[in-house]
Amino acid sequence: MGRISGVYEIVIRKIVKWVVFKCIYPVCYRLAARKPVRADKVIFVENHQAHLTDNYTLLYNSLKQSGYDVRVHYLQVAHSGWSKIIKRSLALIRDMGDASVVFLNESNSLFGAFTLRAETQMVQIWHACGAFKKWGYSVADKEFGDNAKELSRYSGHRNYTLVPVSGSEVCHAYEEAFGIEGKGVVQPLGVSRTDVFFDETYRKQAYDHLYEWRPEWKDKKIILYLPTFRGSIERAKAPDAMDWDELAALSESYVVVIQNHPFIKDKLEIPEEFATRFVDISGRDDIPLTTDEWMMVSHLCITDYSSVLFDYSLLDKPILFFAYDLEAYYDERGFYYPYESFVPGPIVRNTRELVEQIKQAEQWDHQRLVEFRERYMSGCDGASTKRILDAIYGKRK
């Protein structure tokens, strides 16, 4: 009986989705698009977060200061039921009808449910630099990816008019992932939020925030651990291979700051005796530093398959790759480039190897990082925000 009810539930969900995406959303947009486009109206869409993320901050501030009518919609897809998502989506569609520009930073099939009017631009900023682990059409029918037929039926990418990326080398990956090959909308203009890494005032602010929060860390070397999640977005899991006892073999001059991916809801279980040396800041709202600021004040970074390596490469600091489950990740998701030859730093498989590499971090291969940055981040030079806005609006005085 339970199995039958489960089948009915799946069928009903599919019918509801078809009606919403093929009937309700398109009709709502056509009605909203009857109004004349307002050249000064700009909309930013946050797919999952309930606050404006750093993907948008510089663009948002620039447009606000220039007098545009800037609005933000928070869909909170990852944390809401269908009814709330549909309600928020309809509110967004009604608001989009007369907008001149709509900014996105995530995939959402909502944006393929209607044909965008010619006077409106839809700009996919994306939330990550470079091209590392696969997504979108590149992982269709894989464990992490969606069904290929569903992707085609409910594609959210067909209306994009511009997709700025970090460099020419990665354009092909975005075209493949979004299924927009040959359209010329993917351009190596750089990534707006990376402009802060070239701002000395922002760097000073990062250290001010750090010492305001932890004045006792002035003589510490901060190791920043930024892993990505495992599994699906709905069931995101944290990495679980760190041996805290072995990590404690590090000199007490080090402090390890851990920030999990926002999709991960569970906290890492760090033994109480290491609470002052290993600090999990994931999901905390009492921390005055942003992730970008943590990168600036850190001595080195540990990651795995996170695209944060592209951002961090701009800072000329060592990066270590704790890839204890590399083979499984290949099967689950895969990469655009062979992992072992791609990453610009040592790969370790367990905590003991990680500790050894941290101790040898002063002898890191700087030239390898420079070559990586020049290949994959050529568009990120501190002027990305201006180039993106110039591409949208033309060169402004």
Q: Quick one: fold of 9-191+381-393?
A: Rossmann fold (3.40.50)
Cα four-point dihedral sign 379, 202, 66, 158: positive
Instruction: Tell me if residue 255 falls in helix, strand or coil.
Output: strand
* DSSP state at residue 2: H
Distance CA 69, CA 63 (A): 8
Could you write out the DSSP letters of every residue in 96-159? HTTEEEEEE-S--GGGGSSPPPTT-EEEE--SS-S--B--GGGGTTSSSSPPHHHHHHT-S-TT
pLDDT tier at 397 (50, 70, 90 boundaries)?
Answer: very low
Radius of gyration for the alpha carbons in the chain, expressed in angstroms and rounded: 22
Taking the C-alpha atoms of residue 325 and residue 58, their distance in angstroms, rounded to an integer, is 36
The string of pLDDT tens digits covering residues 97-131 is 999 999 999 999 999 999 999 999 999 999 999 99
Mean pLDDT of 1-14: 71
Q: Which fold has domain 199-376?
A: Rossmann fold (3.40.50)
Cβ atoms 224, 294 nearer than 8 A: yes
183-236: pLDDT as tens digits? 999 999 999 999 999 999 999 999 999 999 999 999 999 999 999 888 777 778
Going by the DSSP 8-state scheme, the letter that residue 36 receives in this structure is P
Q: Amino acid letter at 114?
A: F
Where in the sequence of the chain do the CATH 3.40.50.11820 domains occur? 9-191+381-393
Segments of the chain assigned to CATH 3.40.50.12580: 199-376
Work out whether strand 221-225 and strand 38-46 pair parallel, antiparallel, or are unpaired: unpaired
CB 110 within 8 A of CB 25: yes
Assess whether pLDDT exceeds 70 at residue 142.
no
Q: Are strands 319-322 and 300-303 parallel, antiparallel or unpaired?
A: parallel
Q: What is the dihedral of CA 226, 232, 237, 239, to 10 degrees?
A: -50
Q: Are 10 and 40 in contact (CB under 8 A)?
A: no
Residue 3: the pLDDT is: 59
Mean predicted confidence (pLDDT) in 156-162: 96
Residue 94 CA to residue 351 CA, distance in Å, equals 52
Q: In terms of pLDDT, which residue wins out, 304 or 133?
A: 304
| 261: CB partners within 8 A, 6+ apart | 227, 228, 229, 236, 238, 306
User: What are the angstrom distances between the C-alpha of 80 and each of 6, 48, 83, 113, 145?
Assistant: 21, 9, 8, 20, 21
Q: What is the pLDDT of residues 347-387, one digit of tens each?
A: 999 999 999 999 999 899 999 999 999 999 999 999 999 99
Residue 71 exposed, middle or buried by CB count within 10 Å (0-12, 13-18, 19+): middle
Look at residue 6 and tell me whether its pLDDT is greater than 80: no
Looking at residue 116, its pLDDT comes to: 97
